[in-house]
Structure formats: C-alpha cells, structure tokens
Amino acid sequence: MNTYGERFRVTTYGESHGPAVGAVIDGCPAGVRLDMDLIARQLERRRFGAPRQEADEVEWLSGLMDGITLGTPIAFAIRNKDVRSEDYAHLEHLFRPGHADYTYYAKFGVRDHRGGGRSSARETVVRVVAGAIASQLMPEVGISTRAVGSQNPADDDTCGGMVDCTITGLPAGIGDPVFAKLNASLAAAMMSIPSAIGFEMGAGFAAAQMKGSEYIDRWKVDDGGCRTATNHCGGVQGGISNGMPVEFRVAFHPVVSIPQPVECLGEDGSLSTVGIGGRHDRYHIERAAVVVEAMAALCLINYMI
C-alpha cells in the first residue's frame, strides 16, 4: 500500500537506485497554480548536506496545463542520477545490521540490494514534493519544525535526535472520532518516516506521570476566543483539533549506516565483517524535519478538502 490519504491521495513509487522516484497525486483541486519555488525550496532544505548529490529536478508528467492544475492526477518523476550501484555490489547476498535488507527479503523473497531500494530515505524526496503542494492548498495553516536533542556525531559514528513540530492556524473541529483521530493519523504519518521511532502529542510521555488536576488544560477566555492556559493535549481532544496550536514531537534513531565496519548476515546464515560503503548521512535530523513538515501537510489536507 504505497498510497497516502483518502481525499488527497499520494501514490509513490521508486527505488533508490532504479530509474526514478515519483508519485501520482489524485484529488488535488483544479485551477491551482502550483508554486514551483516553494517546492524547490523544500527540496533544497531536504537535500542540504546530503552526501549523495541529486539535482532533484521534478519532471511533471500530467495534471498540469501552463502550470495550473487540471483536477486530474498530477504525476511526476525525479530521476536518480547520482547512482553508484557498484558501491553495493559486495552486499548482494548480505543483510546489513539495522537496515531493512533482511525484512524486505523475508517479505518479498527478492530485493533491490543497490542501496536501500524502496526502504531508502531517497523515497522521502517524493513526500517533500507532495507535501509542498498540499501545504499550498492550506495557506492559513503554518507548519514549522525545530530539531532538538541531537548530539554532534563523532567522526566514526552517527547520531539521532528529535523534531518538534508546531501547526498554527488550524481551526477547531479538524479531525475525526475513534479510529481516524487527528493525533492517530499524525502518529502514523510520522512513524512512516524512515528512522522514526517515537511520537508524542503535547506533554506526551511526561503526561503519564502527571496527576489529572495538573494535566487538564484549563479554559482561558479572552479576546482571542476560546483558548486554554496550557496545551498539554497538544491541541487535539477526542481526535479533533481544539483551535490551539497542534504540537507534537518525533524521535528518530541514529543513522544505521555507520562508518565503522559491521558484521553482516549472509543469505547462507554466515556472518562477515564488512565496511558497508555507500554515501550516507551521519546526522539527519535537519533533513528529517523537512519530511516531518511534508507529512504533516499531507495528513492535514486529507481532513480539509
């Protein structure tokens, strides 16, 4: 299931070392002039500091005439150009620790060993394009992120970190009861990002240690309308926004492609120590933040159109 969303449906495709990555966006309203600069800026932010240098040029295949959406599917492709598949030749029959090599093989019985294939963070470039289009459809909504809690990676190691996201301008009443709660959908959207390992709304895990009387967000009525004095719930109650900023945090584990040699598992069950090569980040949180913004936009737009 490579489709995200029920109304603004983004179906993505592409392996990291195949011809291209891209998507078909179905459900985008007609008559919208796409802000290509916004898309380019987000792609630039995502690309910043990446060891693999891709131009990330978006080739538009359908759904636009003179840059304006037709209401039909918007298809695009981004070519994989800076591909060095030979870097991975020695890994054809090996499963790297910490990667998805083994699990893809267990599921599919076949895999693209060149880079991470479909599990590579390369696929997030597509999310960034789609998210930028979605955010353009909600000009009143502001989505901002901040990298927190990261360490400096040592020379021979990698590190993780966290991203705080704040969504402003969302009116009260956005979300759904029971299964499609806004917080549940945000959780799924964020946990689908490569390396994501934790998610919390508002006070999050700290709320588990609070007393009810501490936790409850008290009403505070003033000229600004109905608000609450605190925002422990993160702006969502019963799965529906309450008009306060929506606030959540995503934890990312460290980059699993570490510079040191590691022991890999062979398809034959043997272990062998190899340097896994390829070109990888050692610190990815600033770049992950851009993907957090994209997924937040894709999540929200499905409630709003």
User: Which one, of 240, 173, 236, 160, lies nearest residue 201 by Cα?
Assistant: 236
Q: Of residues 29-48, which lie at the interface with its own copies (CB under 8 A)?
A: 30-31
In angstroms, what is the minimal distance from the CB of 40 to its own copies?
19
Residues 8/27, Cβ–Cβ less than 8 Å: yes
Interacting positions 50-109 with its own copies (CB under 8 A): 59-65, 68-75, 77, 95, 97-100, 102-104, 106-109
Please report whether residue 218 would count as binding its own copies according to CB under 8 A: yes
277 binds its own copies (CB under 8 A): no
When the beta carbons of 53 and 72 are compared against its own copies, the nearer one is 72
Asked whether position 305 contacts its own copies by CB under 8 A, the answer is no
* Structure tokens belonging to residue 171: 């009116």
Examine residue 221 and tell whether it contacts its own copies (CB under 8 A): yes
Record the tokens describing residue 299, joined without a space: 């999540």
Q: Are 74 and 60 contacting, i.e. CB atoms less than 8 angstroms apart? A: yes
If the CB atoms of residues 132 and 170 are measured against its own copies, the closer one turns out to be 170
Q: DSSP for 41-56?
A: HHHHHHHTT-SS----
- Cα gap 69→26, rounded to integer Å: 11
Q: Which parts of 142-201 interact with its own copies (CB under 8 A)? A: 149-151, 153-154, 156-162, 171-181, 183-192, 194, 196-201
Contact pick of 240, 245, 277, 305 for its own copies (by CB under 8 A): 240
Pair of tokens at residue 234? 């993160």
Q: Residue 73 phi/psi, 5° resolution?
A: -60, 135
Residues in contact with its own copies, total (CB under 8 A)? 146
Rounded to whole angstroms, the Cα distance separating 85 from 65 reads 36
Q: How far is the CB of 47 from its own copies (least distance, A)?
A: 20
Specify whether the CB–CB gap between 261 and 216 falls below 8 A.
no
Q: Which is nearer to its own copies, 153 or 278 (CB)?
A: 153
Residue 48: CB minimum distance to its own copies, A = 20
